[in-house]
Structure 1
Amino acid sequence: MKLTIRKKRNITRIIKKLTFLSIVILIIFTLVASNEITHNQLSRTGQPLNGCLTTDLLPCRDTSHEAILQPFIPNPELNKQQRFLSAIARKLPTIPQPGTYEYILLRAYGAVFVNQDVGIKLPPKDIFANEQETQEFQATLTMGHVDGTNDCYLQKSAADALNKARIQQKIPLKSGYGSGDCTRTFNTNLKFWHKYANDRILAKVQHGQETKILGLVAPPGTSQHLWGLAIDLHVSNKEQIKALNQNSWFQTVENDAPHWTYVGLSEDNLLLFGFNKQVVRGITYWITPL
């Protein structure tokens, strides 16, 4: 009887030891498996990022809702308008409906909304209502000085690109020096509008009855100059144009020859993003396909 009890006690101790050992093995296995999953996740995340860093077509785009950074390339099977809209849909919270005043402005001045330069900031809409709204947006921008000017500032990436072009070629501002050629206030935009137009013409523009004026002056609150992505230059030869184009500066507003826009794309990629190449009186404009 005593022997039987002793055997039972031994068996109980063995079971306890085996149970403890099983628990330890399970914990170790869980930790190893967890570490392997984490490693695999990091590896999968890193591979697309490394590929992005070696992509020459476009720079990576930083977004808060995407797991990885990668360049946006429009689907070449889409038509021009669809390619353009697919690009700006990533930048504008709401795409204006055709026939609206906002759509008319997007067609005239919306080239910047395809910009793939991660260093620039785009406005949330294409019309600022007043000076306060304009200043609130401009206060969020990182600005850079245009070399050789008194007080000409643009968004830093745009200024850096322009400075590189002006190292290659001497390219003066339209006025020669003034801040009015560069980033403008809402009131400066309004002042220019009243110099060439009035409220009656504005009403016609808003209803789609007048568009030629948009190649001369932008309606209040709509100028690319408000966004720090446009400048008026005095360009007189092909070498100057070549230097600007090589640094992503293009003429995008038809009939506004002095006006240059920082698009953040190479000339080859303008076609990929749906732009229309249009030559008017010997000047090449890159027009939105809207």
Structure 2
Amino acid sequence: MIVKLSQKLWKRILFFCFVTIFSLIIFSVATVNNAANLSITESVEVSDNCDTSDSINQTYTKNHNCLPSISSSPVITQNRILPPQERFLSAVTPRLSPVPIPQTFEYILLRQYGSPFINSNNQVNLPGKVIFSNAQETQAFQSTLIKGKVNSGNACVLQKSAADAFNAANQQVRIPLKSGNGGGDCTRTYQTTLRFWRKYANDRTLELVRQGKETRILAVVAPPGSSQHLWGLAIDLRVSKQSQRRALNEHGWFQTVENDTPHWTYVGVAEAKLPEFGLRKKLVRGVTYWLTPI
């Protein structure tokens, strides 16, 4: 009886050993396969502190002396198109130092009159700010300008690049000044902008503009020191024909102040490229304006 029990026990022990050994073999094979897959499919990023001559992306091995950070999939960086506001601010940043902060008076002025700041042509001179504090500051800037005479009206001068572009358009089709007086239609003095402001507005209006509570006046007259006319990059015209608009657009002149129909701005960029700088096209009562997106 004891012998028979011993034989049964022995058989069970052998069976248990066989199952255990077989399980260990299966587990070992699976582990090896997983390790092989890891070395083939996964990449590692080696710390800057690692003393290794291998490349940044390496296959993990047991002999590696550094502690890798394993990433199961590569990081893909996609080029995304910036929204118009960011494209515009990115374009004007080299010209403005610093770029005005949102919800400030300067930011309001940049929104209204800032389209010329996208021009990266070194021959076009732009101020490093959106508003001059006084006549002396304005004169100091204007003294640095290379000016050219406009072949229309009386004593009209602009920055040379702007004047040359207008003259080329005017050669295609005659484009008269709004009043014919260059001192008001073309480059202005600080005193002229102050006189125009006092004609249409007052100090109370200016305070409301500063607070962002009044912006409609900005399509009628610019606050003293902030007009594009001070930069030699704006002109007031009498445009009534599509051929005149087309000629101006072909030479970099656009209407950029909504509802200020006579006002034209020298942006100096081809119309097809204006959206690349974030400017947005808006049609108002048959007039096409190119406005800042901020």
Superposed pair shares fold, TM > 0.5: yes
**Does the CA contact (< 8 Å) of 2:236 and 2:264 recur in 1?**
yes
Aligned to 2:95: 91
Whether contact under 8 Å (1:76, 1:272) holds in the other structure is no
Show the counterpart of 1:225. Answer: 229
Task: Indicate whether 1:192 and 2:204 are aligned.
Answer: no
Q: TM-score w.r.t. structure 1 length?
A: 0.73
Query: Where has structure 1 moved over 3 Å in runs of 4 or more?
Result: none
Residues 180 and 158 of structure 1: is their aligned pair in 2 closer, same or farther, counting only changes over 3 Å? same
- Aligned partners of 2:95, 2:128: CA distance in 1, in Å? 8
Equivalent position amino acid for 2:221 in 1: V
Query: Which residue of the partner structure matches residue 40 of structure 2?
Result: none
Match of 1:26 in 2: none
Give the paired residue count.
Answer: 216
Matches within 5 A, 1:51-66: none
1:1-290 matched pairs, under 5 angstroms: 77-290=81-294
Contact (CA 8 Å) 2:255, 2:261: kept in 1 or not? Answer: yes
**Partners in 2 of 1:125 and 1:164 — Cα distance?**
30
Tell me which structure has the larger Cα radius of gyration.
Answer: 2
- The letter for the 2-side match of 1:280 is V
Question: What is the match of residue 20 of structure 1?
Answer: none
Opposite residue 179 of structure 1, the aligned amino acid is: G
Equivalent position SS for 2:114: helix
Kept after mapping to 1: 8 A contact 2:148/2:159: yes
Q: Secondary structure at the match of 1:254?
A: coil
CA RMSD across the alignment: 1.1
* TM superposition score normalised by structure 2: 0.72
Segments of structure 1 that go 5 or more residues without pairing to the other structure are 1-74
Q: Normalized per residue, which structure has more helix? A: 1
- Kept in 2: contact 1:76–1:83 (CA 8 A): no
Of residues 254-263 and 145-154 in structure 1, the stretch that sits farther from structure 2 once superposed is 145-154
